[in-house]
């Protein structure tokens, strides 16, 4: 099978690495990819949202399967774009239709979906410019912290956890009145704050059946001990110690199964990954959000722990045999630790030379995934906030983290920073 993967982050390097290992993978292309994906496939310089250019790649390279890494092309309707295309009839597109991708693309849509299907989620209300004063009143009537969310995609910046009513009112004003996020904030969801521990659960579905392909806990704060600003994710562990049989049963019965049943009942076309962002509130799972893609850096631990052939699994999803597939996992603990540019998640410099990475990994059970890197004449340089994600295995989570940190100690670039305490609370 010839495969084209869209994206250029650590998630895509991990997906590319996993798919390249499959006997079903003939040629693997990545658009646009990064220097890490170039180690396992062929990078093609095309943007993930340039659908006509992606179509030309699919035709020229006789692509059998298109795997979409990030959410933006999915929310913009890449699935539907190819579904209607006779020249590409038969190509498998891994991802939801545009309508189903609203589960990530519109917070109001996903909240309404959860309410319709009795899926536990924080109480909320939605407002627009027409209902601005009702929104202000709603904020004042509810206790803080309170969460203010732009309805649409806002590059991970559309969620504000307000600790005071003033802060919530100000965020609400910025989104609706000042159009801080443009169209994405023309509708705003205001919801109750849930206190607990977050966990990301990943499912592959064909819209009828599903398989759980992994889970992880993401460490989102920049500072050790979960302090400081939110980031795209500074590291992950898997498995998560509280994901025991009792909790898994609640997650499948109350969340995953009603979600799949809802997709089926509403006749949404969904053939791809579902990322359930959950909160464990005193032993009870609640949904914080759905994403229609894999997580980053979660994928960097989920793929290395998945023993089953991913390409075979994606093909099974397409041909209706997903329910009959056996999924197996390596019986190990995994951790990924992300090295970021100095200043991230604020402003940071790019094009800084990276050294020592060719010598890594120090430990045999270690994988170095590229995220924001680029190949320059003089060698590898930084090209983003999150630069590399180092994944290691161990008999314990602590050992896995230690191995990842030992490898990161071999890698250098000016301003490099990473958390050494990933998994600290377990
Ligand atoms: P989202 O874009 O919906 O994932 O929100 C970003 C992050 O904000 C989540 O990963 C949570 O850490 C946090 N968050 C969102 N909604 C809530 C909530 N209702 N209660 C507590 N934390 C939340
Ligand atoms: N790590 C969180 C995300 O991918 O959205």
Q: Of all protein residues, whose CA lies closest to atom 5 belonging to ligand 2?
A: 295
Pocket test for ligand 2, best of 74, 103, 295 (most atoms within 8 A of CB): 295
The mean of the pLDDT values for the chain is 95
- List helix spans (H) across 163-309: 165-176, 245-250, 257-265, 299-305
Ligand nearest to the CA of 105: 1
Is residue 156's pLDDT more than 80? no
Architecture label for domain 333-408: Alpha-Beta Complex (3.90)
Q: Of all protein residues, whose CA lies closest to atom 2 belonging to ligand 2?
A: 295
What is the distance between the alpha carbons of residues 70 and 291, in angstroms, rounded to a whole number? 10
Q: pLDDT grade, residue 157 (50/70/90)?
A: confident
What is the distance between the alpha carbons of residues 246 and 235, in angstroms, rounded to a whole number? 26
Whether 206 lines ligand 1, by a CB cut-off of 6 Å, is no
Give burial (CB, 10 Å; 0-12/13-18/19+) of 177: exposed
CATH 3.30.1490.20 fits 123-192, yes or no: yes
Q: What is the DSSP string of 267-290?
A: T--EEEEEEEEEEEETTEEEEEEE
Q: How far is the CA of 90 from the centre of ligand 1 (A)?
A: 38
Q: How far is the CA of 220 from the centre of ligand 2 (A)?
A: 9
Q: What is the pLDDT of residues 226-261, one digit of tens each?
A: 999 999 999 999 999 999 999 999 999 999 999 999
Ligand nearest to the CA of 107: 1
Which CATH class for the 197-324 domain? alpha beta
Q: Whose CA is closest to 122, among 146, 101, 102, 139?
A: 146
Q: How far is the CA of 277 from the centre of ligand 1 (A)?
A: 8
Cα separation values, 79 from 152, 263, 291, Å: 19, 16, 15
Q: How far is the CA of 274 from the centre of ligand 2 (A)?
A: 12
Q: Of all protein residues, whose CA lies closest to atom 3 belonging to ligand 1?
A: 289
Q: How far is the CA of 156 from the centre of ligand 2 (A)?
A: 9
What is the distance between the alpha carbons of residues 410 and 356, in angstroms, rounded to a whole number? 6
Ligand nearest to the CA of 292: 2
Is residue 5's pLDDT more than 80? yes
Q: Whose CA is closest to 10, among 351, 423, 397, 390?
A: 390
Q: What is the pLDDT of residues 335-367, one digit of tens each?
A: 999 999 999 999 999 999 999 988 766 666 899
Cα separation values, 278 from 26, 166, 194, 237, 310, Å: 36, 28, 10, 15, 24
What is the distance between the alpha carbons of residues 20 and 14, in angstroms, rounded to a whole number? 10
Q: How far is the CA of 141 from the centre of ligand 2 (A)?
A: 31
Mean pLDDT score, 391-398: 96
- Fold: same for 197-324 and 333-408: no
Q: How far is the CA of 160 from the centre of ligand 1 (A)?
A: 8
Q: Ligand 2, residue 298: give the atom nearest the CA.
A: 1
Q: How far is the CA of 269 from the centre of ligand 1 (A)?
A: 26
Element holding 392 (H helix, E strand): strand 386-394
Whether 233 lines ligand 2, by a CB cut-off of 6 Å, is yes
Question: Where along the chain do its domains lie?
Answer: 2-89, 123-192, 197-324, 333-408
Angle of CA points 17, 300, 33, to nearest 5°: 50
Backbone angles phi, psi at 156, to 5 degrees: 75, 5
Identify the three-state secondary structure at position 240: coil
Q: What is the pLDDT of residues 281-339, one digit of tens each?
A: 999 999 999 999 999 999 999 999 999 999 999 999 999 999 999 999 999 999 999 99
Specify the CATH number of the domain 2-89. 3.40.50.20
What is the distance between the alpha carbons of residues 183 and 291, in angstroms, rounded to a whole number? 19
Whether 288 lines ligand 1, by a CB cut-off of 6 Å, is yes
Whether 277 lines ligand 1, by a CB cut-off of 6 Å, is yes
């Amino acid at each position: 099978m010839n495969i084209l993967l869209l994206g250029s982050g650590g998630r895509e390097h991990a997906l590319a690495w996993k798919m390249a290992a499959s006997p079903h993978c003939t040629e693997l292309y990545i658009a646009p990819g990064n220097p890490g994906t170039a180690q396992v496939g062929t990078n093609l310089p095309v943007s993930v949202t340039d659908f006509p250019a992606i179509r030309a790649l699919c035709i020229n390279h006789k692509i059998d399967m298109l795997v979409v890494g990030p959410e933006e092309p999915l929310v913009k309707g890449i699935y539907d774009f190819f579904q209607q295309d006779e020249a590409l009839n038969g190509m498998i597109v891994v991802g939801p239709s545009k309508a189903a991708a609203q589960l990530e693309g519109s917070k109001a849509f996903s909240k309404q979906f959860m309410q319709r299907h009795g899926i536990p989620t924080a109480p909320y209300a939605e407002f627009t410019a027409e209902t601005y004063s009702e929104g202000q009143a709603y904020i004042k009537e509810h206790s803080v912290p309170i969460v203010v969310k732009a309805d649409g995609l806002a590059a991970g910046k559309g969620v504000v956890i307000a600790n005071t009513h003033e802060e919530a009112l100000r965020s609400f004003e910025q989104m609706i009145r000042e159009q801080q996020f443009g169209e994405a904030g023309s509708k705003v969801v205001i919801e109750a704050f849930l206190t607990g521990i977050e966990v990301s659960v990943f499912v592959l579905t064909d819209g009828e059946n599903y398989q759980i392909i992994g889970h992880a806990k993401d460490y989102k704060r920049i500072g050790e001990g979960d302090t400081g600003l939110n980031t795209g994710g500074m590291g992950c562990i898997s498995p998560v110690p509280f994901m025991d049989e009792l909790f898994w049963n609640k997650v499948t019965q109350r969340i995953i199964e009603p979600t799949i049943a809802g997709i089926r009942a509403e006749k949404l076309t969904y053939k791809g990954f579902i990322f359930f962002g959950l909160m464990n509130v005193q032993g009870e799972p609640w949904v914080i959000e759905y994403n229609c893609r894999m997580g980053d850096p979660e994928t960097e631990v989920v793929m290395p722990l998945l023993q089953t052939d991913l390409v075979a699994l994606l093909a099974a999803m397409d041909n209706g045999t997903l329910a009959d597939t056996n999924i197996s996992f390596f019986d190990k603990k995994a951790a990924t630790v992300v090295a970021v540019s100095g200043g991230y998640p604020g402003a940071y410099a790019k094009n800084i030379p990276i050294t020592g990475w060719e010598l890594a990994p120090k430990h045999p059970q270690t994988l170095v995934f590229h995220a924001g890197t680029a190949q320059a004449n003089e060698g590898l340089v930084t090209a983003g906030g999150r630069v590399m994600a180092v994944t290691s295995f161990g008999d314990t989570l602590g050992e896995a983290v230690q191995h990842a940190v030992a490898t990161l100690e071999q890698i250098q670039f000016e301003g490099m920073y990473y958390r050494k305490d990933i998994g600290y609370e377990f």
